[in-house]
Structure 1
C-alpha cells in the first residue's frame, strides 16, 4: 500500500494485518496493537463508514487522542468522528511528494512530538530514534486489505481459482486462552460450524483439510479467496476461562477484504451449541438473500448436552490426529464418554464406528479385528437410525459394511443415501467415490470425486482418491497425474508411489515402474508393486524376494497381496487359493477384486467369477 510505504520510508514502523506472520491471521485481536500504538490511522470509505468493526477500532484512537482519519473515496466519517480534520487521499497516487502524503506524515510525526521537513528525503529514512515505535493502520485494516488486495490480484499466478458465488472457507478458530490443551475446543467448534454450513445446499463450503492447510500460510483475505476459489472467509477466536467462554467470529468478503459481519459472544459452556447455531444463521444471512437460513434439521446428529459435546470434540481431535493406536484408543474413550452422557448423540455413534474400524484394521489378530468390526457395525447402525438425514452417519455405515465386513451389496444403500444427503461434504463424497469405483460405477465415482476435490483442493488424500478413480477405469495417465499432485501436497503420503508404479506397469513402462515402486514406504503396496515390475522385466529371483518379504512382514494379513503377485507370476491356481483364504479371513483387500488389473490373468476363470458373486460384486 503506497501510504504505508511512505510512512515506513521516513522511519515509522507500521502495524497492519498485511504483515501478520505465518500462524497468525487477520482475525487475531488487535487490542494490544491499538493500546500501544502512538498513532491510529483510519481509512474511511463509503463501505467502511457502515462497519461497526471499523468504528470500534477508530474509537480507540479517538478516545486516546491519537486518531488520524483519511478518506480514500471522498466519504465523510460517521457521526462521532467528524470533529477530526480528514485528509482526503482519494486523488493521491501515494507518491512521497504528494501533498496528501506529506500531510499524513506531518500529522503522524506531530503525535510523536517530531517535526518533518517540507520534502522528506525519498531514500534516507528520518526519525531513526522512533523506528521501533509502533504505528497502527487501524480500523481500516479492511480498507488496507482492499487496496492491497487489488495489487495482489494482478500478480497472482494463472492457476488461481475463480471466486465462486457463495463459496466459503471456515478457518479453525484460534485458541487465545494461552492454554494449549484447549486447542481441540477452538478447532472442533469451527469444524462443527463448517459441517452445519456444508449442509446448506446453496453454499460451497471448503472442507476441513484444505481449511487447515491454508491456515498455515501468511496470506491476506484476498489471496486466500483466490487460492481456494471462494468469495467469503469465516474466522474466529475462542477463549475459555472456567465455565465461561468468549467466541469472536467474523465473516470477510474475499473480493475486497472488508468485514461483512462480526460478533463477540460471552457465554457459558452450556450455551456453546447455541452460539454455533447463531453464527451459522448470521453467516447465511450475510451472504445472500437467496441463501436459506439454517435448515430445521441442520442440527441432525447433534446433542444438547454441552459435556457430551465437549467429549465428542476431544475424541474427534485425537481421531483426526491419527498419531498412533494409543491415541485412537483414547479417542474411543471420549466417544464412549459422550454417549454415556447422551445415548442418542448420533454423530458420536458414527465417530465411534469409524474409530472401531481403524482399531480393527490395526489389530494384531483376525479374531480381534472381527470383534472391533462387529462393534463398529452396531455403532454405525445406531448412528444412521438416530439421524436418518445425517450424510456422515450413512457414509460411515457404508464404510463399515464395505471395508470392514465385506458386505458389498448391503453397503450400496447407505452409500447412495450419503451421496444424496452430503453433496457439500468432501469426506462423504470421497468415500462414496471409492465404493462406486470399486464396484464399477465409474461415472458416479468420477462425478463424486471431482466434487470432493472442488471442496477440498489442498487435501492430498483427495487427489490420491482421484487417482484411484482413474486407475480403476483404466485411465492410467490421468491417475498418475492426480497422485503426483497428491505427492506435491504431501511428499510423505504413503500408498502413493506404488499407485503410480502400478499405473506405469499397465502403460508398458516397467523400468520406470520399478524405480517408482522402490520409493513406496507402505509394505502392503510396495512389495506387490516391486514383484510385478520384476516379473515384467524377467527378474524372477527379485520378484520371489519381494514375495518373501511380504509374507515375512505381514503373514496372513497379506493374503490378497500374495494373490496379486501370484496372478502376475502366472500361478493362477495358487492365486485363486490365496483369494479364497482372504475371503475366509475377511481381508479388506478384496474390496479391490472387481477392478484390480493385477488380477486380470484370473478373470476368465469360472472359480474367479464365482468368488466375485460370493463376495457380492455380481
Structure 2
C-alpha cells in the first residue's frame, strides 16, 4: 500500500482532514502529524516518516508558504524525487518549488467537492504510487486505522470485532467535523462541599459518557482538570490538550432543582457552537447528563439517539445513592490513611444500600477492598478481603455487562492481588474493548500487557492513553515502566523525566531512573539517584543492589539488614532482588517463595525484571513463573 506523507500548515487542518479522508478512501496509507505519538521527538518522527514515505504531498496555503517546516519538508521531497504539490487556497508555491507543477484543489465547505482530485491521483500514479482502489470520485470520509487507534487504543481489536456494527449503526462516519474535545471542570453555583462534589461529579459523568463513544477523542480528567482556576484562553487549552472543542459549565442546586448552564465552544475561534440551559428536578440529573452528552455526540459525529443505558454507565437514578458515591470517590482519591480508605468503602456500601443495582458503586467497592487488602491487615486476612473484592466486581459486571470499570477492577484484583495472569486476561481484554476511550483503563491494560511481555500492545495502549491525558504524569510513568521492562532503558528515563516535568516532586522518580542507569551499567549515576530517593524501601533496595554491583558486599549487606529490620515480612520481593544481585541464589529463592505465600504484588514484575536475571535458569524460579501464568 503506497504511503503518503502530508506536509501542511496547522491553520489548514480542516482542509487537510478532508484530503486525508479522500486519500485513505482511495486506499493510500497516509501519515500526517496528528499521528505523532506523545513520547516521540517531533523532528525525529518527521524525519523517519519522510524517509519511509513513497510520496510527499505538500498542501500549499498562505501560511504553508511562510512556514519553515513546510519548506524544509518540501525541499526533502524535491531532493528525493517524492514531491507532489497542491494548493488548497490558490497560493502559489514559493521559490524554488514554483518551478514544479502544482495542482489546484478546491474543497467545498462540506468536503465533497472533487475539483482537482482526479488530477492529483494521476500525479501519484505518474510517480509509481497508483491508488489501490481505482475510484475517480471523492470517497466518503471514513475513520483511518490510525484514527481508530488514537481514539481507542489498540483499535484493530475493536474494529475487527465490532467494526461492521459500528459502521452500520452510524457510530463511525458523520459530519467530517473534528471529534476531539475536553470536558472542563464545572464551576460551582453556591457554597459547601455538597455543591462542589456535585459540580465535580457532573463533569466526570458527562466525560465518561462521551468517552464511551468509539468515534470521539475525549481528553481525560487529570489533563482537563489541570486548567482549573487558570486564566488560559480556550485556544491555549485546546492546543495543550490537542483538542478542538471545550465543554464548560456551571452547576448547582437551588430549591431542590438542578440549575446552571453549559456550552460547547470551538477553541480556536472561541465560538460557542451549542449552549445548554439546565433547570430541572434534582432527581433527573442522570437524564440531564445523558442529554448533554447525546447532543454533543450528534453535533460532532452525526450519530443520532446516542444516549447510553445504565448497563454501559453503571449509573443510578437515585440522587442519595449518587451523592454517597461522590463522597466515597472523593475520600478514595484523597487516600491519606487507612481511616479515609475505610470511610470511602463505607460510602460505597451506603450507595449500594440505597440502590442495590448501582454497578459503579459495586466496582468502586471492589477497587477499595483491593486497596485495603493490600495495604492493611495481616497477609493471612488478604484472601478473604480479595474474595470480597472479586465478588463486588463480578456483581458490577452482572448488573452492567457493558460497563468497563467492573471488568477493569476484576482484572486488577486477579493480577495485582491474586497473581493469576490467566484469570486476569479476559476481564482486562473486555475492559479494554468496552473502555478504550478511557485513559485510566488504557493505562491499566497497557501495564498488564507490559508485565506479560506484550510490549507492542502495551506501547499502543499507553500511547493512546497519553493522547487522551497528555498532562498526566502517571501515564508517562506507565510508559517508562513498559520501556524499562522491554529493556529500552534510555526511553524509560526519557519517559520518567517527562512525568517529572508534569509533576515535581514525582514519587519514586530517582529510584526508577536509578534502576535504568543500573541496567545500562552506569553505576555512578545509579548510585547518585538511589541516594537521592526519599522513600526508605526504594532507597535501601537501590543502594544494596548498586553496592553489590560495585563489589562492596559489606555495604550491600548493611543496607539489606536495615531494610529487613524495618520492613520485616512486608518487602520480600525487594529481598529477592537484592539476594539475586548478591549471587545468593538459595536466599533469593527463599524470599521469592515467601513473597508468593503472602501474594506480594511485587511479583507482577518477575517476568521481565532485569534484577532477577541471575535466577532465570533455575527450575524453581521458572516453576513460579508458570504458576503465576507467565511463560516459564
Same-fold status (TM-score > 0.5)? yes
Deviation at 1:184, TM superposition (A): 1.4
Alignment of 1:438-453 (within 5 A): 438-453=451-466
Deviation at 1:500, TM superposition (A): 0.8
**Quick one: distance in 1 between partners of 2:575 and 2:226?**
37
Query: Which residue of 227, 230, 236 corresponds with 2:249?
Result: 236
- Equivalent pair of 1:203/1:291 in contact (CA under 8 Å): no
Matched residue, 2:480: 467
Which runs of no fewer than 5 residues in structure 2 stay unpaired? 1-176
Task: State whether structure 2 residue 448 is matched by structure 1 residue 435.
Answer: yes
- Equivalent pair of 1:315/1:333 in contact (CA under 8 Å): yes
- Equivalent pair of 2:312/2:401 in contact (CA under 8 Å): no
Deviation at 1:599, TM superposition (A): 0.4
Task: State whether structure 2 residue 352 is matched by structure 1 residue 329.
Answer: no
Task: State whether structure 2 residue 226 is matched by structure 1 residue 213.
Answer: yes
Matched residue, 1:201: 214
Structure 1 residues 283 and 216, CA gap change in structure 2 (3 angstroms) = same
**Quick one: distance in 2 between partners of 1:289 and 1:612?**
49
What SS does structure 1 have at the residue aligned with 2:511? Answer: helix
- Equivalent pair of 2:244/2:266 in contact (CA under 8 Å): yes
Structure 1 residues 551 and 542, CA gap change in structure 2 (3 angstroms) = same
Structure 1 residues 498 and 292, CA gap change in structure 2 (3 angstroms) = farther
Query: Which residue of 410, 414, 439 corresponds with 1:401?
Result: 414
What SS does structure 2 have at the residue aligned with 1:586? Answer: coil
What SS does structure 1 have at the residue aligned with 2:313? Answer: coil
Where in structure 1 do 4 or more consecutive aligned residues deviate above 4 Å? 295-299
Query: Which residue of 493, 510, 521 corresponds with 1:508?
Result: 521
TM-score w.r.t. structure 2 length? 0.70
Query: Which residue of 303, 325, 347 corresponds with 2:316?
Result: 303
Matched residue, 1:256: 269
Alignment of 1:86-485 (within 5 A): 165-289=178-302, 293-295=306-308, 299-485=312-498
Structure 1 residues 265 and 504, CA gap change in structure 2 (3 angstroms) = same
**Quick one: distance in 1 between partners of 2:227 and 2:315?**
28
- Equivalent pair of 2:201/2:326 in contact (CA under 8 Å): yes
**Quick one: distance in 1 between partners of 2:261 and 2:532?**
46
- 1:383-440: per-residue Cα shift (whole Å, max 9, x none)? 1222221112111110011111112210011011111111100110111111111111
- Equivalent pair of 2:311/2:402 in contact (CA under 8 Å): no
What SS does structure 1 have at the residue aligned with 2:316? Answer: coil
**Quick one: distance in 1 between partners of 2:240 and 2:183?**
14
Alignment of 1:518-597 (within 5 A): 518-597=531-610
Alignment of 1:28-43 (within 5 A): none
Deviation at 1:563, TM superposition (A): 0.3
Task: State whether structure 2 residue 523 is matched by structure 1 residue 517.
Answer: no
What SS does structure 1 have at the residue aligned with 2:215? Answer: coil
Deviation at 1:290, TM superposition (A): 5.7
Structure 1 residues 549 and 286, CA gap change in structure 2 (3 angstroms) = same
What SS does structure 1 have at the residue aligned with 2:277? Answer: strand
- Equivalent pair of 2:311/2:399 in contact (CA under 8 Å): no
What SS does structure 2 have at the residue aligned with 1:230? Answer: coil
What value does the CA root-mean-square deviation take over the aligned residues? 1.8
What SS does structure 2 have at the residue aligned with 1:252? Answer: strand
- Equivalent pair of 1:531/1:547 in contact (CA under 8 Å): yes
- 1:157-177: per-residue Cα shift (whole Å, max 9, x none)? xxxxxxx92111111211121
- State the aligned residue count: 456
- 1:170-229: per-residue Cα shift (whole Å, max 9, x none)? 112111212244211110111011000000011001111111112243201000001111
- Greater alpha carbon shift after TM alignment, 530-539 vs 189-198: 530-539
Structure 1 or 2, whichever has the larger Rg, is 1
Deviation at 1:236, TM superposition (A): 1.0
Which runs of no fewer than 5 residues in structure 1 stay unpaired? 1-163
Structure 1 residues 502 and 569, CA gap change in structure 2 (3 angstroms) = same
- 1:255-287: per-residue Cα shift (whole Å, max 9, x none)? 211111112211222111111111111212232
- Equivalent pair of 2:209/2:308 in contact (CA under 8 Å): no
**Quick one: distance in 2 between partners of 1:296 and 1:380?**
19
Matched residue, 1:91: none
Alignment of 1:488-499 (within 5 A): 488-499=501-512
Task: State whether structure 2 residue 622 is matched by structure 1 residue 615.
Answer: no
Structure 1 residues 242 and 578, CA gap change in structure 2 (3 angstroms) = farther
